Copies of this chain bind each other. A is one copy, B any other.
Amino acid sequence: MRFVRFIKGDDSVYGILEGENVIELSGSIFGAFEKTDNRYKLSEVELDIPVEPRTFYAAGLNYQTHKDKMSAAIGMDAGASDAPDIGYRANNALAPHNSPVIIPADATDKVNYEGELVVVIGKKVKNLTPENAMDAIFGYTIGNDISERNWQKSDKTMWRSKNTDTFKPMGPWIETDVSLDDMTTIVRLNGEVQIRFATNDMITGIVPFLVRMTKYLTLYPGDVIWMGTEGDAPNLLNGDVVDVEITGIGTLKNTVIREE
């Protein structure tokens, strides 16, 4: 099932996407919900980010080639630990499908995309096991982890490099039915394929992350976990269009604007 979140007046509401039709819902997608009588065409609604997470988690350096290239490029000792230590991103940076990524005027040229699978949590859980970890997942969406590589080196934290407003496009919707091992992530820049990789070919998979995280922390419905990306990427220029497609979910598309 595909859950879209779209703007209606001053609020955002959920709907189920069936083909090109959106059926508005009442209630909570993480609890009880019902279909309303309101119907829209997908092309008529303005999509919002598919969920506002209570906590926004992100795995770093979780695909082998990306880890190797980033270690070299930004001088991080990426090989120091293979333990799945989760990181964080900030809600201010989230931006919906079809909205612009705005690069501040003082950013350097080294701004890259990162196409990522996003896990959306559906239940309040702690102490998950390898056997029950997947039951905590509500569905999946797509993220583009826009990163300013020089700020990533110079700042003590990744606050500017990763969390500048609009640097975290997420969407277009949440898909609940996927086959992880059959999925491919395809990133296109201005329509041309830049990279294609097996979505589930992570160094640390979803289950080990969930098990280790929930030994120490409680996950809540709507929390998101961005699972990392593969490869490296060219520098983004004003007017570039980035599509992150994950087969079985959809395509997240955003246009880059560089402030003058």
Contact = CB atoms under 8 A, between A and B. Distances in A.
Most buried by B among A52, A55, A164, A218: A55
A155 interface: yes
Number of chain copies forming the complex: 2
Query: Interface residues of A: mostly helix, strand, loop or mixed?
Result: loop
Interface residues on A, range: 20 to 34
Most buried by B among A85, A86, A155, A156: A156
Contacts of A216: 104, 159-160, 163-165
Interface stretch (A20-28, A89-97, A135-143): A89-97
Contacts of A218: 92, 165
A208 interface: no
A219 interface: yes
Interface of A: 52, 54-55, 57, 60, 80-81, 83, 85-88, 90-93, 104, 126, 154-157, 159-160, 163-165, 213, 215-220
